[in-house]
Amino acid sequence: MCGIIGCVGRGDETLDTLVHGLSKLEYRGYDSAGVAMASGGVDLCKTAGKIEDLRDALSSVSLSGSVGIGHTRWSTHGPPTNANAHPHQDCTGDVAVVHNGIIENYQSLRDELVSAGHTFTSDTDTEVVPHLIEDELADGTAPEAAVRSAISRLEGSYAIAAVIAGTEAVFAARHDSPLVLGLTEGATFLASDVPAFRDFTDQVIYLDDGEFARLDADGWAVSTLDGSPVEKEVNVVEWDPEETGKSGYDHYMLKEIHEQPRALRQCLRGRVDEMAGTVDIEDLGDLSPTGVQFVACGTSYHAALYGAQLFREAGIPAQAFLASEYATAVPPIGDALVVGVTQSGETADTLSALREARKRGARTMAVTNVVGSTAARECDHAFYIRAGPEIGVAASKTFSTQLAALNLLMLGMTNEEGAREVIAALRELPGNVQRILDESNAEAVAETYRDADSYFFIGRGYQFPVALEGALKMKEITYKHAEGFASGELKHGPLALVTENTPVFAVVTGDGEQARKTVGNVKEVEARDAPVVAITDGQSDVGRYADHVLELPETHPRAAAVLANTHLQLLSYHTAALLGRNIDKPRNLAKSVTVE
């Protein structure tokens, strides 16, 4: 959530570069935006609303310079207003600051500053920072030292960038909130995520917690907060900037749903040997845990539930925990491997859970999409899902590749019987997903039930996490009430909510006991006049009791979960499109949740 952009060295193009960078960060979620330029003084422009509103506001003001910062804000302290938008200034107007995160001791700092005569104009926690810098400057402290001193007084999480009148530099620091530098000849960039400057460079440096950066005409320097120099590795971003465009699709989400075959191929490439029936996961070392604990949030938590079942069936005790609960009441760890599943690698709750696990001596692993992310750097091991950049707020291709990656992880760590059959099904996944994308009648089903009161999703075994994810997608982008259940739980309360205007989406694969029991649950809702949509491979007779069928190719049950999910993604997408929702930027949501 929230986005930061900073730029030094683009001359007259700096302002346009900042606004362009903010537009590339829109996917993170925001409700206001602003920019500040520093030369002899500091000039800024900010507004509640969207980037388009900021552009309109900029058309009536004059901002110039070759040093600047920008921000998209997602409200935490105070509503989305012009006054609460970033950047924030001090009393003199000579300092401007942007900030992601939460300053936990802001109230005591604010009380101290107000007592000293400072005037505040916003409700935000961020505004204490420019005033702290102002006090340091007033005491004769040099600009860089003033910023360092102010930041040293903060408690909580932050990614901060500041500019000061008369100083052609951007100062920045991070703690529990991501910042990355982008390097080109003659210009340097700073952002909360690579897409903000990827059109200009593929050379990046990831800042770690407790590090401070100075960007100026001479380039960049990174040090600890107390000033000790830090050697940093320059990384190369491997994806092309065109991957973050819509490529002719109406929405990023639809594009990313259709990118799933390619994403799955990337996830599998070089990791499976179908002839030998083996999986080779590079650089994992000797991993033979007595148990596995998954920690995750949202969509990634659904993937974690799926992954925990994989390991249990392979004979390794495994549990999935909501990271927000784990971080505050961590269960006994023993010799368990703690695996954080996080698309961005920056999810605050998941990072907190992983850090707590490490404090207790556990080995940790990040299953993530982002090379160089905080989770990838801090964990003992990192396993990349290789989905490529995902811009739509609602996860799609990253969930599918998480499921595939967790299969690979389990197979690479165990000697499970039947591995050859699973590997063959994984190799067929890209083609089978493409088949569903080409043939799915999900749009017609969406048209039929667009005006439903609510939506229920049910499944057993591997299909239970898929039911949860199907419901979450429906909630996220249609704003309709939707719930996912383990099929057998319907009769333990939720059945009271079933009506003729409550479609039930039942994921049923195979013809074993789980399928037969789910068919029984379908009969229960059918007897109460609820419409039924079966997502099935046709091996059971659930189609007899369904009003509509979304067909799946026959495959291994583990792979069938990915295929069923594809239908449900399309169902949610088309329902949202029919309802006219803002699909790529659902209200109140952010792509990367970097506060707890």
Digit-coded pLDDT (tens) for 269-298: 888 887 777 888 766 666 778 899 999 999
**What confidence score (pLDDT) does residue 1 get?**
56
Confidence grade of residue 592 (pLDDT, cut at 50, 70, 90): low
Average pLDDT over residues 563-592: 89
- Looking at every residue in the chain, the average pLDDT score rounds to 90
Judged against a pLDDT cut of 70, whether residue 590 lies above it is answered with no
Average pLDDT over residues 488-510: 84
**What confidence score (pLDDT) does residue 108 get?**
95
Choose the most confident range, by mean pLDDT, from 58-62, 187-191, 373-377, 522-526.
187-191
Average pLDDT over residues 322-341: 87
Instruction: Find out whether 280 and 412 touch, Cβ atoms under 8 Å.
Output: yes
Query: In whole angstroms, what separates CA 29 from the centre of its chain?
Result: 10
Which fold is adopted by the domain 242-439?
Rossmann fold (3.40.50)
Choose the most confident range, by mean pLDDT, from 231-245, 374-388, 579-593.
374-388
Report the predicted TM-score, pTM, of the whole model to 2 decimal places: 0.78
| Closest to 387 measured CA to CA, from 265, 206, 252, 563 | 265
Whats the size of the chain, residue-wise?
596
More confident residue, 446 or 344: 446
Q: What is the DSSP string of 195-241?
A: GGTTTT-SEEEEPPTTEEEEEETTEEEEEETTS-B-----EE--S-G
> What does the alpha-carbon distance between residue 475 and residue 471 come to, in Å, rounded to a whole number?
6
**What confidence score (pLDDT) does residue 28 get?**
67
Confidence grade of residue 334 (pLDDT, cut at 50, 70, 90): confident
H or E element that contains 516: helix 513-526
Instruction: Find out whether 522 and 495 touch, Cβ atoms under 8 Å.
Output: no
**What confidence score (pLDDT) does residue 349 get?**
92
Query: In whole angstroms, what separates CA 268 from the centre of its chain?
Result: 22
Tokens 């800024």 sit at which residue? Answer: 44
Whether 3-237 and 440-596 share one fold: the answer is no
Q: Which of 2, 45, 267, 379 is catalytic?
A: 2
Active site residue 591: yes
Instruction: Classify domain 440-596 by CATH number.
Output: 3.40.50.10490
Active site residue 7: no
Average pLDDT over residues 10-28: 88
The domain locations on the chain are: 3-237, 242-439, 440-596
Q: Which of 255, 480, 585, 591 is catalytic?
A: 591
What homologous superfamily does CATH list for 3-237?
Aminohydrolase, N-terminal nucleophile (Ntn) domain (3.60.20.10)
